[in-house]
Amino acid sequence: MTFVACTHDAHAAAILALFNEAILHSTALYDYQPRPPESMTEWFRTKAAHGFPVIGAEDDSGQLAGFATYGVFRAGAGYRHTAEHSIYIHKAFRGQGLGLALMGRLIEAAARNRIHTLIGVLDAGNTASIALHEKLGFTLAGTLKEAGFKFDRWLDVRFYQRILQSP
């Protein structure tokens, strides 16, 4: 795998495909409708405006195997050192350690960028993501019962937190 800084031109379509697969087939995103291609322009613009990295992993053929990023956790100046992160792995590349590798790079970037706390907002039934976060030193900060609704059922949301050694 080659790790790259994702760009709109090179990666928007692949990232959109990962988002839409998650929307349609999982509880990783609580959206109901696939996102349109034009949504990626604003998504990348927001990342760039705030200096938020989008770290991708490409296979030998240049296919995006996954990506990790972070963004605003909550509005307000007092939250500027806290970020909510996301990680998506293409189904063909899951279970190969790519999540650990991407998250490791994202954690390093966050610390360099003066992020003090990373927050993962996970569906309580997403055991693979929970295991990944716990392996990376994230701890359960709380559970919101029945905070989401998708696929005709109520879903619990878990917040996982890791304090970083930021400069």
Give the DSSP letter string of 73-107.
SSSSGGGTTEEEEEEEE-GGGTTSSHHHHHHHHHH
Name the nearest CA neighbour of 118 among 66, 53, 65: 53
Domain of 150, in residue numbers: 2-163
Q: What is the pLDDT of residues 45-58, one digit of tens each?
A: 999 999 999 999 99
- What is the reported pLDDT for 165? 87
DSSP H helices, the chain, are 8-25, 39-50, 98-112, 127-135
Overall number of domains in the chain: 1
Q: What is the pLDDT of residues 90-119, one digit of tens each?
A: 999 999 999 999 999 999 999 999 999 999
Q: Cα separations (Å) of 105 from 34, 112, 136?
A: 28, 11, 12
CATH number at residue 132: 3.40.630.30
